[in-house]
Amino acid sequence: MKPVDPEMRALLLGAIPALRAFAFSLTRDFDRSDDLVQETLVRAWTKADSFTPGTNLYAWLFTILRNLFYSEQRKRRREVEDADGVMAGRLTALPDQEARVELSAFQEALNTLPPSQREALVLVGAQNFTYEEAAEICGVAVGTIKSRVSRARVRLIELLGMTGPDDIGSDGATLAALSHP
């Protein structure tokens, strides 16, 4: 059995909230995202010797998570999807507060983005990765990430019926997602 490295353990535990948010942005399912985070942490722990100290641990973890997600997606291709959201719509309760309605509208709009744009926007806008780090995580060029984020922001503003980021409130995550750097 591998000896416990308290520093690595603390770093992995500290990354859980960010990993959960990213996993949920990919899966849009709390249970699947928790399973994905758990698998990511197990994989990171067992492969900790392949992590280079002094480099970006979050980028390494997000890459593991992303790779696990896409591997899982390839395996799930034969499952029946609820593409139009009818079944999921029956399971949700109507929001009872304005902020909840706005968040729901934002989530709906975010979910309509192509996965590559949504992924780039979440990494840069919500997780505060640099374009370079996001490009490394996604395995694409920096210009591709910039383009995806830009297109995603423009599309979200259109879908939400806004003229620009000034139309939104002070919610930090929403501001980050819709604002240009």
pLDDT bracket for residue 176 (50, 70, 90): low
122-140: pLDDT as tens digits: 999 888 899 999 999 999 9
Sequence ranges of the domains in the chain: 1-84, 96-180
Q: Which fold has domain 96-180?
A: Arc Repressor Mutant, subunit A (1.10.10)
* Rounded distance between C-alpha atoms, residue 144 and residue 18, angstroms: 23
Sequence-separated (6 or more) residues with CB below 8 Å from residue 148: 116, 117, 119, 120, 121
Q: What is the CA radius of gyration of the chain?
A: 17
Average pLDDT over residues 153-167: 79
* Rounded distance between C-alpha atoms, residue 145 and residue 181, angstroms: 13
CATH code linked to domain 1-84: 1.10.1740.10
